[in-house]
Structure 1
Amino acid sequence: MSRERIPEVERLRGIAFLAVVLQHSIAHYTVEPGMTTGDGILMAVLLMATKFAVPVFIFITGMVLFYNDKGSLHYGRFIQRRFGDIYIPFAVWTLITLLINNRFNPTQAEDWKYLGGVLLTGKSSSHFWYIIMLFQFYLLYPLFRSAILGIKERWGWRTQLTILLLSGLLYVGLTGVISDIGRWMGSLDIPVWSELFTTYADRNALYYFFYFALGAAAGLYHTSWKKWIQKARTGIWLIFLFLFGWMLIQAVNEIRSAENGAITFYSLSLLRPMMSVFLISSILVMYDVTGWICRQGGARVNSLLTSVGLYSYGAYLMHLLTLRISYVVDESWLISMPPLIRILSSWLISAAVAYGATRLLAMLPFGKWLVGMTGKRKNRTLQPSSPSHSSTTGM
């Protein structure tokens, strides 16, 4: 029998999905003609405010997996379930994306080879990398589970906390030597492995492991986790706000020094030491925020966020396509509006269309293969393998 669902996680998943869509809405307008340095700074603020999304999805995956762990693991059934709920919909939308972009012709042998490649790498669209990265956590779950539960059984909570803190420091240090690791692995020229640390380093689960481990700790000690978040609230927020300001300064300096007025955010990439510290603090802050929403947000807000979280995996898979719809609206009626209005409009239109389409597709008998769930599962959340967990995923 499944344990009681965690309300904060249900809301957090919905917020994280909305944050992802806003990030991609921002990306479109960074290359729009007429954008100024001031517009770039505004985008940097919005981008910083939404950077938590991917780490939060990974955190939720770890949290829900370990929170629901029943003491035994049937790996075959575990992977089969994730494959059906996560990978199959990803494969379907990969094919749909290729067809829409005229990148796949079933009569061409080379196109079938290309399809096979992108199904393994997530290269058919800029947001599919996340699915490939996340699925690695499912494949490696027995190893993570053995290590984490082994630590829990052998040592007391103080030692466990020390190990968690040390692993966090190790992770921050790791993000600082990713380039060195890439050069070394590239020089070894080992098939698949070298590419995982070079060409596809951005989707290597190793480079995101601490978010998963932090989620595992929160899931294993859920009650203590909530109490600690409340107790440490002031310190958590101060660290978050300081790092937010510090990282924002880096982004502003990058924008001001860019050639030809280009708006770029390389300094805000996920795999950097200071960014990883900021993202860890962001997870803590967002969990505190969702706790407040659960208590004070009202029935409508809580219901909406829960519903968005429930359908977020299918919506995530299609949201770059629905963004195209928002751009048609933008170019037809909003081209003269301030950038903030245009960004927010694209965000809301894309998120709403993706969410609505997912709900409709979930009603179909084969909705599971399109969006990871069917309408019959309205009271469940997505599986722990997608951007929208039903019981074990991050999205």
Structure 2
Amino acid sequence: MGKSRIEEWTQLRGLAFMAIVMQHSIAEYIYRADIQPADSIMLTMIYHLTRFGTPTFVFLSAVLMFYKYGEGVRYFPFIRKRFESVYVPFLFWTLIYWLYVHVFTPQFWQIGGRDWGSLLRELFIPQIGYQLWFIIMIVQFYIFFPIMAVIYRSVRSRLEPLNEKRRNQSVLAIIAVTGILYMMLLYLSYYQMGSWSEKLGNPWSEMIQYRSYSFLMYGFYFVMGAVCAANIEKWRTWCMKLLPWSGLVFLGMYIKMGYDVIRGSGEVVNLNISTYLKPSTFIIIVAQMLLLYGLLMLLQPHSRKFTRLLAWMGRYSFGGYLVHALVIYAIAYITRPLDLGGYHMLFTLLTFILTVLASLGISYTLSHVPSLSWTVGAGRRKPRQGTSQESEFRKEAPALR
């Protein structure tokens, strides 16, 4: 018998997927030359409501791994399964995005005009399929997960003999210490590492430049996933008890981040001020994740239609994540030649809605075609009663890293 299915994880994935699509829809319009200040400010406000997207999928990836394999894992079967369900679709969609850009250029059809080197670079540093960088990052987590699982079991074995009070205090201490260390890492990343990159030569300079591709830069969210997987009921209780405080922290940081971006931008809004690898962004993300988790727990018995919709979106969101940038490209092909002065907010919302619908529709269709289901994560079979069918997928991509 497999472990029981945790409904709120799939629902949270659906919310995170929508946040990711909204971020990339905003990125398509907010930097256009004809945008008006009112639209820039409104899109910035919406943008800061979506910062939880990528870290939430890091958290979900970790919690699913520790929940299913925390007590033991056979390394090579584990890696093979992850490779088939995550990396193989990445290879396929990387080729699709590369072809989308290159086949429409005349040079591509000339002898020697195919830039295969750029395709090779896309496999390590995705740029065309800008959201695919996340797959590169999460695969690193899979490679090192068995080591993390050993640490996880060791910590659990030391905490289990303690009484509940001491155990809670120990877990909170672990969260606090790792949170402080992670804040220090983010401080160095945001305020110091840029200058290091200029001083150091290759390969260190490039490693620092592309540090957002490293799973170490998202380490705290893996710790959160491990804590949640260790005691789901306790995690649910904490999230619900913290609701007033997580809401207040989120509201305060939301105001601060909006002010920082508007103050720090020139004529064009600079959303990179709110990068994931910034201490203040980290605070709002954690607060929002705890807030959303608590709210989902409150909604479970009262809004079944809404939670079922979120769960459906979560089930097909991996394929939707892989394809959604291509849908945005297709929409942009129509909208970029247009003069949208005064309508950027409206077109962003329309792009968001169309992209969510089209991406999930494509994912749903591909998952039900046996010969193509591997392109969206090795199929989306109906979960059997009493088993856990959570797909360990990971999502988002800051086009605005």
Normalising by structure 2, report the TM-score.
0.87
Query: How many Å apart are 1:253 and its aligned residue?
Result: 1.4
Farther off after superposition, 96-105 or 133-142: 96-105
Q: Distance in 2 between matches of 1:85 and 1:267?
A: 34
Matched, 1:29 2:34: no
Residue equivalent to 1:383? 391
Is the Cα contact below 8 Å between 2:16 and 2:52 reproduced in 1?
yes
**2: distance between equivalents of 1:355 and 1:381?**
18
* Contact map agreement 2:57 2:393 (CA 8 A) in 1: no
Cα distance in 2 for partners of 1:249, 1:159 equals 37
Pairing 1:167–2:144 present: no
Partner of 1:102: 102
Amino acid at match of 2:391: Q
Change (3 A) 1:186 1:33: closer
Distance 1:123-1:339 versus aligned 2 partners, 3 A rule: closer
Equivalent positions of 1:66-105 (< 5 A) are 66-69=66-69, 71-102=71-102
Question: 2:58·2:221 contact (CA, 8 Å) conserved in 1?
Answer: yes
Contact residue 251 and residue 268 of structure 1 kept, 8 A? yes
Structure 1 CA distance for aligned equivalents of residues 371 and 205 of structure 2: 35
Q: 1:342 to 1:4 in 2, by over 3 A?
A: same
1:266 equivalent among 265, 268, 272: 272
Change in Cα spacing, 1:42 to 1:131, as seen in structure 2 (3 Å) is same
Partner of 2:243: 233
For 1:46-195, list aligned pairs within 5 A: 46-69=46-69, 71-102=71-102, 108=112, 111-155=115-159, 156=162, 157=167, 158-178=169-189, 180-181=192-193, 191=203, 194=204
Q: Choose which of 303, 317, 324 in structure 1 pairs with 2:322.
A: 317
Match of 2:131, SS state, is coil
Residues 281-290 or 203-212, more deviating:
281-290
Counterpart mapping for 1:340-351 below 5 A:
340-351=345-356
* TM-score normalised according to structure 1 size: 0.88
Alpha-carbon distance in 1 for matches of 2:87, 2:237: 36
8 A contact 2:316–2:363 mirrored in 1: yes
What secondary structure, in the 3-state scheme, does the structure 2 residue paired with 1:282 have?
Answer: helix
For 2:239, the aligned partner's letter is: I
Q: Distance in 2 between matches of 1:289 and 1:251?
A: 28
Within 2, Cα distance between the matches of 1:304 and 1:113? 42
Q: Give the superposition deviation at 1:302.
A: 2.0
CA contact (8 A) 2:141 2:215 kept: yes
Matched residues in 1 for 2:144 and 2:113: separation? 33
Counterpart-to-counterpart distance in 2, 1:140 and 1:41: 41
* Equivalent in the alignment of 1:246: 256
Structure number with greater CO (CA < 8 Å, separation at least 6) is: 2
Compute the displacement of 1:98 (Å): 0.4
For the residue of structure 2 that corresponds to 1:356, the secondary structure is: helix
Determine the structure 1 residue equivalent to 2:216. 206
Deviates more, 1:81-90 or 1:334-343: 334-343
Q: 1:332 to 1:363 in 2, by over 3 A?
A: farther
CA distance in 1, matches of 2:93, 2:157: 42
SS at match of 2:209: coil
Q: State the shift of 1:32 in Å.
A: 2.3
Q: Alpha carbons of 1:94 and 1:195: their partners in 2 closer, same or farther (altered >3 Å)?
A: farther
Counterpart position of 2:399:
none
What letter corresponds to residue 171 of structure 1 in structure 2? Y
Q: What CA distance in whole angstroms lies between the structure 1 residues aligned with 2:349 and 2:127?
A: 27
Change (3 A) 1:82 1:89: same
How far off its partner does 1:327 sit?
A: 3.3
Q: CA deviation at 1:161?
A: 2.2
Give the C-alpha shift of residue 355 in structure 1: 0.6
**More displaced, 308-317 or 109-118?**
109-118
Do 2:17 and 2:314's aligned partners in 1 also have CA atoms closer than 8 Å?
yes
Amino acid at match of 2:258: L
> Which residues of structure 2 form unaligned runs of 5+?
397-401
Structure 2 residue aligned with 1:392:
none
In the superposition, relative to structure 1, how do residues 245 and 295 fare at CA in structure 2: closer, same or farther (>3 Å)? Answer: farther
Spell out the pairing of 1:347-386 with structure 2 (5 A cutoff): 347-377=352-382, 381=389, 383-386=391-394
Aligned residues: 381
Is the 2:5–2:389 contact (alpha carbons within 8 Å) kept by the matching residues of 1?
no
- For structure 1, the 5+ residue unaligned runs are 389-395
Provide the secondary structure at the position in 1 that maps to 2:8.
helix
